[in-house]
Chains A and B, each alone.
Chain A
Amino acid sequence: MSKRRMFFKMITASLLRRRSRMLIALLSIAVGATILAGLVTVYVDVPRQMAASFRSYGANMLLMPGEKKALNRESTDEALSLISREKLQGASPYRYISAEFMGNQTGEGKYSSQLKFMTAGTSFDEVQKTSPYFAVEGRYPEAPREALVGKNVAATVGVKPGGNVRLAYDRVKTVAAGQTQRELQGSAPGYYDAEVGATVLLNEDGTIAAVAMDLSRQTPFRVAGLTTDSFTDTYGVAHAESFTDQFIGKQIPLTMSASADDLDEYIDAVSGATASCKAVVDAVNAASETGTHSAGQQITDTERAAMSFTVVGILETGGEEEDYIYLSQRDMEDLTDERDVYDVVELSVSGSSEELSALAGEINEKTGLEARLVKRVTKSEAGVLGKLQALVFLVTLVVLVLTMISVSTTMTAVVSERRKEIGLRKALGASDGSIRVEFLGEGLFLGLLGGVVGAVLGYVFALVVSRRVFGSDLQFNFLLVPATILVSMLVSALSCLIPVKRAVAIDPALVLKGE
């Protein structure tokens, strides 16, 4: 029998014969290894997982238009492509306008309230990711023409979920004058001391190029029955483009007619709003020249658009969002008639504050947009996250040290029991070295077995923690498997050697006698 075979036979025989003791030792090492593998995995993975939880504080980065770069879908996508997918928790684009509140009754009511609210167009799917703290009574808008209304706004205008808000926005249009045009302004009296104002642009040949009505001086005056199911105020009708568009191409003075006519200069009045239509025509006819626009000059013109929205939710945040009205991006585009324009994009990105500053710098440089960190969130997060990491680190350290000592005491107890065996072998002529090597082998073997079992159980523990606490999957570091096995072999071998060394040092006679 070769020496090596004898060595293995001795170890396996010893392990088998002393099943119950070895089982105890093995169990103890496995428990130690489980704690080691489990806690270290949790410790390594906690910052990533916690950082994701911190995103419940909301956006930590803002994208804004750069000096030479507009913020829109394309430039936002360009910036987002620089952020790794798993780090980006959400990105909500916002377009802000100041819209005038036009009433909250159902229908087409069109009167000015002088009450203006900040109105935002956004993507509600993304808002729920970047601002998880938004509390909505009712629900988020899903269909077109639905709105989410801030709590303060709702209280001011007295609207509840299911109610209506009508919003008006003065679209600003820039047109280049195709030819030299003359600008005329005039006014005429209307109902109830109202004054109807008109601004008219005339082409070189004297035909009307454009008409803009001054809405600020109108008085709400509504008549029933204009449309089948609603109220409309007569000036609203008379001021509408559908009416004034007939003026274009005609010459001043205009003539009113109540019925369709084939005469060029005749204007069809809107039935039911004849008096108001007449006042508008009078104002245009009374217009006198105030200036000229030369060809190619940019002219801005405002055009009022109004839309009704069903309120489906009331927003409560405790912050300034309660003073806002939120619309979907599509509705905002329809209201403003401006496509693909963002004022700001709120990003929620997980990562340390250094990573975030580096990322912001990269976005600034590569896309020309301005990326800014929300310091209140990033800085505070870094502080608290640091503490939590330190907590888990120290706890892990204390648990590991205590567990390893406990493993080695058990191993020591198991080995001490075999002092007599050691004495006997020594008496039979075994060298100290050979005894040590044999016990070392036994210890290493137990460590290996316990380490493998522990690495598996530790992974299971970390997985359970990850799922239960953070509700996400684990990123397992496979280097940890050999590390766990190595540490358990080391601990078990060391704790075997100490009692063996002591036993070997004593005279075999004393050991055998049991002193």
Chain B
Amino acid sequence: MLFRMIKGALLRQKSKMLLIALTIALGASLSTSMINVMLDVRDKVQEEMKAFGANIIVKPNDSTLLGDMYAIEDEGSAFLKQSWLKEEELGKIKEIFWTFQIRNFAPFLNVSAETDTGRPVQLVGTWFNHHLSLATGEELDAGVKDLRSWWDLTKGEWIDESEPDALNQVMLGKDLAGELGLTEGDTLTLNGRAASRTVTVRAVFDSGEDADAQIWMPLDLAQALSGLEGCVGTVEVSAITEPDNELSLRAARNPGGLSAKEWDQWYCTAYVSAICYQITEVMSNSTAGAVRQVAEGEGAILEKTELLMIMITALSLVGVALGISNLVTASVMERAQEIGLLKAIGAKDKAVTGVIMAEILITALFGMAVGYFMGLGFAEFIGRQVFAASIDIKPIVIPIVAAAISLVTVAGSLPAIRMILKTDPAVVLHGSKA
């Protein structure tokens, strides 16, 4: 009987129930999309942040200062020879525990050479889009093309390392290019410490930094010119990291001072200090440190964005809750006469409440199901439009949205039903409204 009554009500009052279902669907879709976007916004924005460059720098142990301080240009001295990083170990950076957090990396080798006219020039050997096949079977292109996203090429194109003649190409900083009077397609001869090469200018770039007075070239070429085969000066690593907390700061100062449990927790969280530590484990004779300018800025922006999204989500959820409970209250009140009649012919309060609640909840269920998928659509739309990537769908959103909307629906309808039930059926049926 109950079932027939509900079915009857649902069918008879199609348009009214449709309105409830529609509102609940809208509410559910709004909450689904907002919560999904909110939960994923950190990852997405962090992905965008890679525009600011690497957040970890790996250097050889104890050598850096001496080279910088005395401006030692003689790279061949026996003392400095020992303090290079090894090129063959670079792939291991992508084989650490946090391999998926490593977005990109590039080695750098700063050496000097002279042009034919005897003018000394600074050379930077690096990877542009170096193809790596790792022991894990993973393949990737690593290099500065992404790590220097703020560069403008005023002439020409980025060096493409997959081309066979890439090894004879260089990119010139705009200041140096202007001074030497060279542009794309020109050739110049570089006399390094170990060898001389005639190279072609592939591009002229505007970096807004010191690099504007440098020549950038494939790592192998710089190594050949200086006779430093297999050597790398520094490595820049761009990694997705968790914001620092008390534990990670303590660990960064002294990893040895942690208890076994803390150690595990630290090592297995993508803190920048943990990633640095793991890099020094795989690169021999290295120290890795966070570039605070990038890490701090990233942290500040992420925190603000996330907080902003939480606030907006909270406002829209409050809006959804009020909207749904409003509508449900209105639709219950509209049925005051029906409720009065049921009561007049002897229905118990409980039974009346049960029938009406069941009707509304069944309608809500349909609304929620439709709304959930609509919400996924909205989230996908936002993700595609803003970040050109799908928003990660979290299953946890389903129970949250279902519970919240059911609660709001019940909270909206129960008080209204109670109120009508309390009123004398005669008054209700007479139509004078309380």
- Residues of chain A whose beta carbon lies under 8 Å from any beta carbon of chain B: 17-18, 20-21, 24-25, 27-28, 31-32, 34-35, 38-39, 42, 46, 50, 53-54, 56-58, 115-117, 131-135, 152-153, 155-156, 316-320, 323, 372-380, 383-384, 387-388, 390-392, 394-396, 398-399, 402-403, 405-407, 409-410, 412-414, 416-417, 461, 464-465, 468-470
Q: Is the CB of B301 within 8 A of A413?
A: no
Q: What string of 1s and 0s marks CB contacts (under 8 Å) between B123-153 and chain A?
A: 0000000000000000000000000011110
Stretch at the interface among B165-173, B328-336, B397-405: B328-336
Stretch at the interface among B44-52, B176-184, B196-204: B44-52
- Pick the contact of A375 from B23, B45, B64, B207 — CB < 8 Å? B207
Q: What string of 1s and 0s marks CB contacts (under 8 Å) between B27-69 and chain A?
A: 1011001100100010001001101110001000000110011
Q: What string of 1s and 0s marks CB contacts (under 8 Å) between B74-114 and chain A?
A: 00000000000000000000000000000000000000000
Q: Is the CB of B33 within 8 A of A398?
A: yes
Q: A191 CA to B150 CA in the complex, in Å?
A: 59
Q: Is the CB of B45 within 8 A of A384?
A: yes
Of all A-B residue pairs in the complex, the 9 with the closest CB atoms, nearest first, are A375-B208, A57-B297, A133-B296, A380-B51, A379-B150, A406-B323, A318-B291, A56-B300, A417-B334
Say yes or no: A392-B52 contact (C-beta < 8 A), given A318-B292, A402-B29, A409-B327. no
Whether, in the assembled complex, B353 has its beta carbon less than 8 Å from a beta carbon of chain A, the answer is no
Shortest Cβ distance from A417 into B: residue = B334
Q: Is the CB of B41 within 8 A of A391?
A: yes
Q: A298 CA to B1 CA in the complex, in Å?
A: 114
Q: Is the CB of A39 within 8 A of B312?
A: yes
Shortest Cβ distance from A153 into B: residue = B65
Whether, in the assembled complex, B19 has its beta carbon less than 8 Å from a beta carbon of chain A, the answer is yes
Q: Is the CB of B308 within 8 A of A319?
A: no
Q: A192 CA to B51 CA in the complex, in Å?
A: 59
Say yes or no: A409-B22 contact (C-beta < 8 A), given A27-B326, A376-B150. yes
Say yes or no: A376-B382 contact (C-beta < 8 A), given A32-B319, A391-B41. no
Q: What string of 1s and 0s marks CB contacts (under 8 Å) between B182-218 and chain A?
A: 0000000000000000000000001111000000000
- Residues of chain B whose beta carbon lies under 8 Å from any beta carbon of chain A: 15-16, 19, 22-23, 26-27, 29-30, 33-34, 37, 41, 45, 48-49, 51-53, 57, 64-65, 68-70, 149-152, 206-209, 289-297, 300-301, 304-305, 307-309, 311-312, 315-316, 318-320, 322-324, 326-327, 329-331, 333-334, 378, 381-382, 385-387, 433-434
Contact partners of B305 in chain A: CB under 8 A: 388, 391
Say yes or no: A132-B296 contact (C-beta < 8 A), given A24-B329, A27-B326, A376-B52. yes
Q: A132 CA to B301 CA in the complex, in Å?
A: 13
Q: Is the CB of A394 within 8 A of B27?
A: no
Q: A50 CA to B296 CA in the complex, in Å?
A: 15
Q: Is the CB of B301 within 8 A of A56?
A: yes
CB distance from A320 to the nearest CB of B (A): 8
Q: A64 CA to B37 CA in the complex, in Å?
A: 44
Q: Is the CB of A318 within 8 A of B311?
A: no
- Pick the contact of B322 from A28, A54, A464 — CB < 8 Å? A28
Q: A382 CA to B322 CA in the complex, in Å?
A: 38
Q: Is the CB of B334 within 8 A of A31?
A: no
CB distance from A18 to the nearest CB of B (A): 6
With A32-B319, A53-B304, A409-B327 known, 14 other A-B pairs at CB within 8 A are A20-B433, A31-B326, A39-B315, A54-B301, A57-B52, A152-B64, A323-B69, A384-B49, A390-B386, A406-B320, A409-B23, A413-B16, A469-B307, A470-B304
Q: Is the CB of A461 within 8 A of B315?
A: yes
Q: Is the CB of B208 within 8 A of A373?
A: yes
Q: A410 CA to B22 CA in the complex, in Å?
A: 11
- How would you classify the secondary structure of chain A's contact residues: helix, strand, loop or mixed? helix
Contact partners of A319 in chain B: CB under 8 A: 57, 291-293
Q: A394 CA to B38 CA in the complex, in Å?
A: 13
Say yes or no: A468-B30 contact (C-beta < 8 A), given A56-B297, A413-B334. no
Contact partners of B301 in chain A: CB under 8 A: 50, 53-54, 56, 384
Q: Is the CB of A395 within 8 A of B292?
A: no
Q: Is the CB of B334 within 8 A of A410?
A: no
Contact partners of A416 in chain B: CB under 8 A: 15-16, 334
- Pick the contact of B311 from A377, A390, A413, A468 — CB < 8 Å? A468
Q: Is the CB of B296 within 8 A of A116?
A: no
Q: Is the CB of A20 within 8 A of B319?
A: no
Contact partners of A376 in chain B: CB under 8 A: 52-53, 150, 207-209
Q: A399 CA to B319 CA in the complex, in Å?
A: 9
CB distance from A425 to the nearest CB of B (A): 15
Contact partners of A133 in chain B: CB under 8 A: 292-293, 295-297
Q: A289 CA to B10 CA in the complex, in Å?
A: 117
- Pick the contact of A464 from B206, B311, B318 — CB < 8 Å? B311
- Pick the contact of A58 from B30, B65, B297, B387 — CB < 8 Å? B297
Contact partners of B381 in chain A: CB under 8 A: 394, 398
Q: Is the CB of A28 within 8 A of B382?
A: no
- Pick the contact of A35 from B292, B315, B433 — CB < 8 Å? B315
Q: A396 CA to B37 CA in the complex, in Å?
A: 13
Shortest Cβ distance from A134 into B: residue = B292
- Pick the contact of A398 from B292, B296, B322, B382 — CB < 8 Å? B382
Contact partners of A464 in chain B: CB under 8 A: 311
Shortest Cβ distance from A58 into B: residue = B293
Q: A409 CA to B326 CA in the complex, in Å?
A: 10
CB distance from B35 to the nearest CB of A (A): 12
Q: Is the CB of A317 within 8 A of B304?
A: no
Contact partners of A398 in chain B: CB under 8 A: 30, 33, 378, 381-382
Say yes or no: A20-B307 contact (C-beta < 8 A), given A390-B386, A392-B312. no
Contact partners of B330 in chain A: CB under 8 A: 21, 24-25, 410, 413-414, 417
Q: Is the CB of B322 within 8 A of A318?
A: no
Contact partners of B34 in chain A: CB under 8 A: 395, 399
Contact partners of A27 in chain B: CB under 8 A: 322, 326
Q: Is the CB of B206 within 8 A of A375?
A: yes
CB distance from A94 to the nearest CB of B (A): 16
Q: A245 CA to B51 CA in the complex, in Å?
A: 59
Q: Is the CB of B292 within 8 A of A384?
A: no
Q: Is the CB of A116 within 8 A of B69?
A: yes
Q: A182 CA to B333 CA in the complex, in Å?
A: 112
Contact partners of A50 in chain B: CB under 8 A: 301, 304
Q: Is the CB of A28 within 8 A of B304?
A: no
Contact partners of B387 in chain A: CB under 8 A: 387, 391
Q: A342 CA to B22 CA in the complex, in Å?
A: 67
Contact partners of A18 in chain B: CB under 8 A: 433
Q: A402 CA to B327 CA in the complex, in Å?
A: 14
Q: Can you report 13 A-B residue pairs in the complex whose CB atoms are below 8 A from each other?
A: A35-B319, A38-B315, A50-B301, A115-B69, A133-B293, A387-B48, A395-B312, A398-B378, A407-B323, A409-B26, A413-B330, A417-B334, A470-B304
Contact partners of A406 in chain B: CB under 8 A: 23, 26-27, 319-320, 323-324, 327
Q: A465 CA to B315 CA in the complex, in Å?
A: 10
CB distance from B245 to the nearest CB of A (A): 15
Shortest Cβ distance from B334 into A: residue = A417
Contact partners of B300 in chain A: CB under 8 A: 53, 56
Shortest Cβ distance from B207 into A: residue = A375
Contact partners of A24 in chain B: CB under 8 A: 326, 329-330, 333
